[in-house]
A and B are shown apart, each in its own frame.
Chain A
Amino acid sequence: EAEVAQSPRYKITEKSQAVAFWCDPISGHATLYWYRQILGQGPELLVQFQDESVVDDSQLPKDRFSAERLKGVDSTLKIQPAELGDSAMYLCASSSSGALYEQYFGPGTRLTVT
């Protein structure tokens, strides 16, 4: 069964450093989501792509976060510089045609900023 891939699974970095996360959605899925999940809370949408276009980034801290999906397939989320409050699980999800269809989540990247 196809799955969403993410790397790395774990990342420890010092504050003020740059970090990047990678996501490869299920083949053929046009919609890709990046979520941040703080321990004990639900996932919070950071950015949503439809193919290569950003359709929602209203909750993305644009002064330090950036995301791209250049060819409409895999995607990268970057944080520069990282802050202590960025420690969280970063989840990527994809769906075949918007959120009316099931979102499949990747295993996530656990980020710890020291």
Chain B
Amino acid sequence: GENVEQHPSTLSVQEGDSAVIKCTYSDSASNYFPWYKQELGKRPQLIIDIRSNVGEKKDQRIAVTLNKTAKHFSLHITETQPEDSAVYFCAATSGGYQKVTFGIGTKLQVIP
């Protein structure tokens, strides 16, 4: 089955700096890669996603890049703000019924 590795597990940045979270996946047939943000005690919420036919996608301060050859994808947050502090999960979707496999999560702390 699919295996998704995510790093770092924790990340602290100063407000205004950029944050980068990286993930690798094992199944070359994976074709959809969502990123979720989960605040303490709340449900995961989709913040951005990318499909396998696209190399990069941007939404305001958030961008995701995908390298299919290397089987890795990354989340980039620019001009970080304290409200960006949360746990971020990457995921990869594969298989006939599009099973979603999540990474272990990255706890991001933005220091004011």
Q: Which of B51, B99, B100, B101 has the most CB of A within 10 A?
A: B100
Q: Number of B residues whose C-beta is below 8 Å from A?
A: 25
* B residues with CB within 8 A of A: 1, 6, 31-32, 34, 42-46, 49, 51, 89, 91, 93, 95, 97-105
- Interface 9-mer from A60-68, A71-79, A102-110: A102-110
Complex: chain B residue closest to A53, CB-CB: B97
Q: With A and B bound together, what is the CA distance between A84 and B12 in angstroms? A: 33
Chain A positions near chain B (C-beta within 8 angstroms) = 33, 40-45, 48, 50, 55-56, 58, 91, 98-100, 102-103, 105-108
A91 pairs with B44, CB closer than 8 A: yes
Assess whether B98 is in contact with A100, with CB atoms less than 8 Å apart: yes
Docked-complex contact A55 and B43, CB < 8 angstroms: no
Q: Is the interface of A mostly helix, strand, loop or mixed?
A: loop
| Set B43, B49, B99: member contacting A91, Cβ < 8 A | B43
**B44–A43 CB distance below 8 A:** yes
Most chain A beta carbons < 10 A, residue from B43, B46, B103, B104: B43
Q: CA separation between A56 and B70, bound complex, in Å?
A: 28
Q: In the complex, are the beta carbons of B97 and A98 less than 8 A apart?
A: yes
The residue in chain A whose Cβ has the minimal distance to the Cβ of B100 is A99
Task: Tell me whether B102 and A107 are in contact (CB under 8 A).
Answer: no
- A56 vs B46: C-alpha distance when bound (angstroms): 22
Contact in complex: B105, A42 (CB < 8 Å):
yes
Chain A residues lying within 8 Å of B32, measured Cβ to Cβ, are: 99-100
Shortest CB-to-CB span from B4 to chain A, Å, is: 8
Distance (whole angstroms) from the CB of A5 to the closest CB of chain B: 12
